[in-house]
Amino acid sequence: PELQKQEEHGELLQPLIFVLLVLCSVLLYFKVSLMDPGFVKSEEEAKAGKSEEQSMVIPQVPSPIKMRRCGYCMVKQPMRARHCRLCQHCVRRYDHHCPWIENCVGEKNHPLFIVYLSVQLVVLLWGGHVAWSGLSFEQSWDWLQHNILLLTSFLLIVIFTTVVLLLLLSHLYLISCNTTTWEFMSHHRISYLQHSELENPFDQGVVLNLWRFFC
Determine phi and psi for 28, rounding to 5 degrees: -65, -40
3-state DSSP assignment of residue 16: helix
> Helix crossing, 110-133 with 206-214: angle to 10°?
90
Assess whether 90 carries a catalytic annotation.
no
What letter would DSSP give residue 202? Answer: T
Question: Which candidate in 24, 98, 104, 177 is catalytic?
Answer: 98
CA–CA distances in Å: residue 102 to residues 28, 33, 73, 108, 167: 14, 6, 20, 15, 16
Vertex 82: Cα angle to 32 and 193 (nearest 5): 120
What residue type is assigned to position 167 of the chain?
L
DSSP 128-161: HHHHHHT----SSHHHHHHHHHHHHHHHHHHHHH
List active site positions: 98
